[in-house]
Amino acid sequence: MDRRGGFQGGFGSVNTGSFDNHTSVNHAERWPSSTRNQGAGPRRIGSGLRRITIDWDKPWIPVTKLGRLVKDGRVATIEEIYYKSIPILEYQIVDLLVPNLKEQVLKILPVQKEVRSGLRTRFRAFVAIGDKNGHVGLGMQCAKRVSTAIRLAIYRAKTAVVPVRRAYWHTGHGLPHTIPCKFPLFKEDLRP
């Protein structure tokens, strides 16, 4: 009964094919102690989210179809992306289409998680970006170091850039700095 937790061997594997193999193969051969995880089968090494590694010397190689279109010049403005409702998954797309973005760190919070050896402290950064021309993004990221948290929050804010709808510009109705909005029964302008 050394293998608990259901069928984990797979089909056609040499070590776990039949009961004859089970008795002839040593337990230490099948699962070395370094990959054993408290009786639940082999531990999955490397599972989880991929780390973002940035090399500033290398040029940007787009991964998504939208990234390839932007790099080729077929998508000229970010409004075309909003019009088609395509999600932006690479922050370099926003860097090319909206080059004059300003970043501001709103808040940095230490967050703690209780682990076996005590408390693990990480830092959560909130960053807002915008170009003062109708594009705003907000990003939040948690990391072990403050600089890493800020950098990754900026990347998240760039992928979350949305247009701000303003009433006063390009139309004759509304007052300066008003935002049109709908309440359930009537339309109203919000003023700061």
Phi and psi angles of residue 22, each rounded to the nearest 5 degrees, phi first: -60, -40
Rounded to whole angstroms, how far apart are CA atoms 171 and 166?
Answer: 10
In 3D, which of 115, 114, 99, 111 has the Cα closest to residue 158?
99
The whole-model pTM stands at 0.60
Share of the chain above pLDDT 90, in %: 50
Strand order in the sheet with 102-115: 102-115, 118-130, 135-143, 162-163
What are the chain's domains?
A: 1-48 (no CATH), 50-97 (3.30.160.20), 101-160 (3.30.160.20), 165-192 (no CATH)
pLDDT in the model for residue 134: 87
Tell me the residue type at 188: E
pLDDT in the model for residue 132: 87
Q: Tell me: pLDDT of 97 over 50.
A: yes
Mean pLDDT, all residues of the chain: 75
pLDDT one-digit tens code per residue, 37-51: 555 555 555 544 455
In 3D, which of 109, 166, 96, 154 has the Cα closest to residue 130?
154
